[in-house]
Amino acid sequence: MKGIIKKIDRINFGLMSPEQIREMSVVKIERPDTYDEDGYPIESGLMDSRLGVIDPSLKCRTCGEKGGECQGHFGMIELARPVIHVGFGDDIHKILRSTCTECGRVLLDDDEIEEFTEKMEELQEAGESVEDLVKDVYKICKDKKTKEVCPHCGAEQEDIKIVKPIDIIEVRKQYDENGELMTEEDGTPLTEDYDLTASEVREKLQRIPDEDAYVLGVNPEVARPEWMVLTVLPVPPVTVRPSITLDTGERSEDDLTHKLVDILRINQRLIENMDAGAPQLIVEDLWKLLQYHVTTYFDNEASGVPPARHRSGRPLKTLAQRLKGKEGRFRSNLSGKRVNFSARTVISPDPNISINEVGVPEMIAKEVTVPTYVNEWNIEELKEAILNGPNVHPGANYVKKTINGKEMKVRVLDDNRELVVENLEYGDVVMRHLKDGDIVLFNRQPSLHRMSMMAHEVRVLPYKTFRLNLCVCPPYNADFDGDEMNMHVFQTDESRAEAKSLMRVQEHILSPRFGGPIIGAIHDHISGAYLLTRDGFTVREDDAFQMIRKSHLLNNEYVDKKHLKRKNRDWTGKELFSLLLPDDLNMNYKAEICRKCETCLKEDCQYDAFVVIKDGQLTHGAIDEAAYGSFSGKILDTIVKEYGPSRAKEFLDRSTDLAICGIMKTGITTGTNDEEIPEEAIEVIDAHLDKAEQEVDKLIATYEEGLLQPLPGRSAEETLEMRIVQVLGEARDTAGEIAEGYLTMGKQSQDDSYDYVMAVENHSVVMARTGARASMLNLTQITACVGQQAVRGGRIERGYINRTLPHFKKGELGAKAKGFVHSSYKSGLDPIEFFFHAMGGREGLVDTAVRTSRSGYMQRRLVSALEDLKLTADGSIRNTADTIIQFRYGEDGTDPTRSVGGKVIDMDDLFTEVLGDDADALLRLDSRDVGEDYGSREKDEMEYFEEENSDYESETEYESE
């Protein structure tokens, strides 16, 4: 039956008794061979066809099914002598150490047994682990084992040791002929180690009564202690260890089969020798060998056991290795599964599609299909698709029909299309090609957060790459230097509906991490919007209409026709941008280009950095990263929260269109000319840096004379180092500031008198100041001075003995000798500086490599620890055991995604809504988190503050990409 998910309620774990193994077994395997000369499975061999078959041409002798249908059946090997199961070596040791040498009872008195039993039963009922209690039992008994007699039979105890992983040793006290305990001189009893054989271990375990086994951690309902020593070995079906035929026609057996052959061989030999009455020594050797093979069959990485190897020297992959680790069954096949209907290719940008869309190459669209039920509304379309066949785009690959209750899958081929179309009826399922508007999942690894996997609408496009809108690069952390992404096509209507309402890109504009937009404008969108909306930008009216048309604002449901009337004058960029804004939007904030002046002039800001939006009209301020950039877009944030994701999606799509129009109108260009400053400025900078270097020399001289006053709690050397770093840091900053003075975006205002020839339009600075790309630090490093290079958080130390390079004297401490780069990138680094710069750069790369693995593991642990926590209907957070972790989520139940920059509600909105104009007096626009980033709020409440120490950090910072 379709639509009903078969529910597994629970899984019980337990040990198998020898009887169960025998009962389950369909064949007793005795011959250590696989196939005979003709390639047929040997009877009672490891490939016996009663164990199931893989070859579809053969039939299983147990269930009669063909290969591929038969699940396989277990066989068994009767072991000539018992062997210990490696996985339980430790437990056997602990159990024997906790039980009486004579009677096998646990070394607890009856009260204790009862007490522990009660407690354990309680825990077991509550579904909790009894492990801690069992550990307690082991601990109590371990103490008693050597010091006391058995509380049940009064027997003297012999201690038990273990040599990992499976050698159980009894430490026997020595008695003389008279039965007197023999002791060392100091009174400690004389002992002798006796290796217990697996049979003896098994006998000892057998003596433990069920009630005692329970407190020792062996649940008698599903396990007996002696079952941890194997007498019969289950042989997994062939399907578990299929042999593969190489290209040469040679058969290659699975590692498990190899191991089982070894076990069988030794087992046979052991039987033969025992039957022949061979000397005890030989039997014991063979027994040990059998134990070795069974041990490595279970775990080939057990400590203290040399791993069994293939002829080539490669260690065999046996049972434990199959399960363990990243490539093991659990993490590789069970927690993550390979799927059909998925595709992967290189990604490339497309600013002309919506953020909700993904461009899918036609080639992929023809391969991954959507199962569609035929009904009266789509039958014509689907017939058309079938007629197109599998090779023409809106086509179909298969048709599923149910005839007489049997499902049939018909492949659409050139010669059967007509026939298939003729027979097509309601209820059939057509596997049609992916077409525009289908919902698919799109994903980029590493999938670090939920925005790494979002639902997109398909746009089938030519060529061979996936196309995506640039605004969705930040959540995927994607760029186009060869990144590849995956696409998955939904196969049911339920999943499609769920994805559309929960996983669509527009639903993820806000990040749950900080409650602000993570999808937003980047790079040219930002510089474009700035160039368009800054003061002084105007376009002729017909050009303006062209831009409106190109940005799809003409017949747009959200743009009121009244704004699109002719003005019979030039349009300003702000007027154009205002078309995108909802008519009732009111807000003001400080833009990214704000220079954080002492007193903000607000509307009169000379940089046009105070943004005022009144009734949907942008009256003051330029649009930049702070408006609609990813991570910080305030307008975008407001629109998602107030007008919903659909409106926000439209705003983002259209505003980026408009920004591109803007940037195409003004043009943008950058080159090293942008980092040009006048000769006299360079001189001033050089003088500054020279002065700083002299100051450093002076400090060194003072230090060498021993006159340097050490900082409290620091040695003179450390103090000197800190002072030097500080002086050089300040010097670089001053150099940067001087250069910044010349690096302006161009003529800032009408009365801006500065007319340095290169600075008329400086797009590098535009990009840095608006937040589009790069920073002023980058620019000043190009223009003025690169600054101190750091390795391991300090000046460069390593290299030759007492010096960094042979160009310096031993023990030289000066600026240059320890990695200060005086030059700018533009003027070029000298070889020594270049070398130090490369050192710093290398550290950055190593750092990135180490970081990815470390943070990846941290996240895996976090997810594993937190994945089961959910908000229950009563507002509490609980885990699967129904333990309350939080009584109210986050202390106020607020969803971080929906919070207002972390706050529960927006106070200003509240007061405006209730009090209307009266509220103005109570609004705190000034003190509002204007210009501040999201998430920095609770600080005061937490009484947390940490003084900033930016001097040192800022220029040792190495931006790595």
Partner 1 sequence: MAKKDTFNALVTRGVETSVADELLTKFSTLKSISEAGVEGLMEIGLSEEVANDVITKVGKRASRSTAKKKAEEVEVVHMEIVSNKHHEYSDEEKKLLAMEEELGIKLPLKVIVDIASRLEGADISDEKCRELLTVADRMYQSHRMDPHESAGVMAAHSLGEPGTQMNMRTFHFSGVANILTTQGLPRLIEIVDARRIPSTPSMDIPLKGLAAEDEKVARLVSYEIETTSLLNIATVETDITNMRMIIHPDQRKMDERGVTMADIIERLNKVKALRGLVSSDDFEITVTSDEPSFKKLQVISDAVKNAKIKGIDGISRAVLTKDRDDRWKIITEGSNLKEVLKVDGVNNEKTMTNSILEVADVLGIEAARNAIIREAFGTLSEAGLNVDIRHIMLVADLMTNDGYVKAIGRHGISGRKSSVLARAAFEITAPHLLHAAMNGEVDHLEGVAENIIVGQPVTLGTGAVNLIYTPKKGDE
User: Taking CB under 5 A as the rule, does residue 640 contact Zn ion?
Assistant: no
Provide the Cα torsion 928, 929, 931, 935; round to 10°.
-170
The item of partner 1, Mg ion, Zn ion, none sharing an interface with residue 152, based on CB under 5 to 8 Å by kind, is Zn ion
User: How far is it between the farthest Cα atoms of the chain?
Assistant: 126
State which of residues 63, 346, 363, 722 lies at the interface with Zn ion (CB under 5 A): 63
Q: Interaction with partner 1 in 503-522: which residues (CB under 8 A)?
A: 512-516
The tokens 């129009």 sit on which residue? 661
Q: How many CA atoms lie within 13 A of 546 on its CB side?
A: 11
User: Taking CB under 5 A as the rule, does residue 203 contact Mg ion?
Assistant: no
Helix (H, G, I), strand (E, B) or coil at 139: helix
User: Taking CB under 8 A as the rule, does residue 927 contact partner 1?
Assistant: no
Q: Which two tokens stand for residue 730?
A: 């300040």
Mask of contacts with partner 1, 117-146, x by CB under 8 A? -x--------xxxxx--x-x--xx--xx--
What is the C-alpha to C-alpha distance for residues 471 and 485, in angstroms, rounded to an integer? Answer: 16
DSSP 135: H
Q: Interaction with Zn ion in 132-151: which residues (CB under 5 A)?
A: 150
User: Taking CB under 8 A as the rule, does residue 164 contact partner 1?
Assistant: no
The item of partner 1, Zn ion, Mg ion, none sharing an interface with residue 42, based on CB under 5 to 8 Å by kind, is none
Amino acid at residue number 745: M
DSSP 252: E
What is the C-alpha to C-alpha distance for residues 214 and 202, in angstroms, rounded to an integer? Answer: 17
Cβ closest to Zn ion, residue 355 vs residue 605: 605
Rounded least distance, CB 452 to partner 1, Å: 9
State which of residues 33, 457, 909, 929 lies at the interface with partner 1 (CB under 8 A): 909
What is the C-alpha to C-alpha distance for residues 748 and 751, in angstroms, rounded to an integer? Answer: 8
The tokens 């626009």 sit on which residue? 925
Helix (H, G, I), strand (E, B) or coil at 99: strand
The item of Mg ion, partner 1, Zn ion, none sharing an interface with residue 63, based on CB under 5 to 8 Å by kind, is Zn ion
Mask of contacts with Mg ion, 471-510, x by CB under 5 A? --------x-x-x---------------------------
Q: Interaction with partner 1 in 368-407: which residues (CB under 8 A)?
A: none
Q: Interaction with partner 1 in 776-835: which residues (CB under 8 A)?
A: 792-793
Q: Interaction with partner 1 in 435-494: which residues (CB under 8 A)?
A: 446, 448-450
Cβ closest to partner 1, residue 495 vs residue 748: 495
State which of residues 921, 926, 940, 961 lies at the interface with partner 1 (CB under 8 A): 921
Estimate to the nearest angstrom the gap between the alpha carbon of 117 and the chain centroid.
Answer: 43
Q: Are 759 and 748 in contact (CB under 8 A)?
A: no
Cβ closest to Mg ion, residue 283 vs residue 346: 346
826 closest CA partner among 758, 761, 750: 758
Q: Are 847 and 956 in contact (CB under 8 A)?
A: no
Helix (H, G, I), strand (E, B) or coil at 807: coil
Q: Are 84 and 227 in contact (CB under 8 A)?
A: no
What is the C-alpha to C-alpha distance for residues 342 and 490, in angstroms, rounded to an integer? Answer: 9
CA geometry: angle 484, 489, 495, nearest 5 deg: 130
Mask of contacts with partner 1, 62-91, x by CB under 8 A? -------------------------xx--x
**How far lies 413's CA from each of 264, 365, 398, in Å?**
52, 18, 9
User: Taking CB under 8 A as the rule, does residue 938 contact partner 1?
Assistant: yes
Cβ closest to partner 1, residue 545 vs residue 911: 911
Enumerate the β-bridge partners of residue 787.
821
Residues 6+ apart with CB under 8 A from 844: 958, 960
Residue 400: enclosing H or E segment and its boundaries?
A: strand 396-403
Estimate to the nearest angstrom the gap between the alpha carbon of 569 and the chain centroid.
Answer: 55
Considering only the stretches 127-135, 573-581, 595-603, 861-869, report the one whose residues sit in contact with Zn ion under the rule CB under 5 A: 595-603
What is the C-alpha to C-alpha distance for residues 295 and 307, in angstroms, rounded to an integer? Answer: 10
User: Taking CB under 5 A as the rule, does residue 623 contact Zn ion?
Assistant: no
User: Taking CB under 5 A as the rule, does residue 152 contact Zn ion?
Assistant: yes
Cβ closest to Mg ion, residue 62 vs residue 630: 630
Cβ closest to Zn ion, residue 457 vs residue 535: 535
Rounded least distance, CB 349 to Mg ion, Å: 12
Rounded least distance, CB 518 to partner 1, Å: 10
Residues 6+ apart with CB under 8 A from 507: 501, 645
State which of residues 694, 904, 925, 959 lies at the interface with partner 1 (CB under 8 A): 904
The item of Zn ion, Mg ion, partner 1, none sharing an interface with residue 609, based on CB under 5 to 8 Å by kind, is Zn ion
Burial of 600 (0-12, 13-18, 19+ CB in 10 A): middle
State which of residues 43, 871, 930, 954 lies at the interface with partner 1 (CB under 8 A): 871
Q: How many CA atoms lie within 13 A of 356 on its CB side?
A: 23
State which of residues 190, 408, 664, 915 lies at the interface with partner 1 (CB under 8 A): 915
How long is the chain?
961
Rounded least distance, CB 10 to partner 1, Å: 5
What is the C-alpha to C-alpha distance for residues 452 and 474, in angstroms, rounded to an integer? Answer: 10
User: Taking CB under 8 A as the rule, does residue 10 contact partner 1?
Assistant: yes
Rounded least distance, CB 478 to Mg ion, Å: 7
User: Taking CB under 8 A as the rule, does residue 934 contact partner 1?
Assistant: yes
The item of partner 1, Mg ion, Zn ion, none sharing an interface with residue 11, based on CB under 5 to 8 Å by kind, is partner 1
User: Taking CB under 8 A as the rule, does residue 926 contact partner 1?
Assistant: no
Amino acid at residue number 360: V
User: Taking CB under 8 A as the rule, does residue 602 contact partner 1?
Assistant: no
Among positive and negative, which fits the CA dihedral 559, 564, 565, 571? Answer: positive
User: Taking CB under 5 A as the rule, does residue 153 contact Zn ion?
Assistant: yes
What is the C-alpha to C-alpha distance for residues 38 and 247, in angstroms, rounded to an integer? Answer: 18
Cβ closest to partner 1, residue 282 vs residue 871: 871
Rounded least distance, CB 34 to Zn ion, Å: 18
Considering only the stretches 418-426, 453-461, 564-572, 930-938, report the one whose residues sit in contact with partner 1 under the rule CB under 8 A: 930-938
Rounded least distance, CB 444 to Mg ion, Å: 10
User: Taking CB under 8 A as the rule, does residue 774 contact partner 1?
Assistant: no
Enumerate the β-bridge partners of residue 886.
877
User: Taking CB under 8 A as the rule, does residue 907 contact partner 1?
Assistant: yes
Catalog residues that contact Mg ion under the rule CB under 5 A. Answer: 479, 481, 483
Catalog residues that contact Zn ion under the rule CB under 5 A. Answer: 52, 60, 62-63, 70, 100, 102-103, 150, 152-153, 155, 597, 600, 605, 609
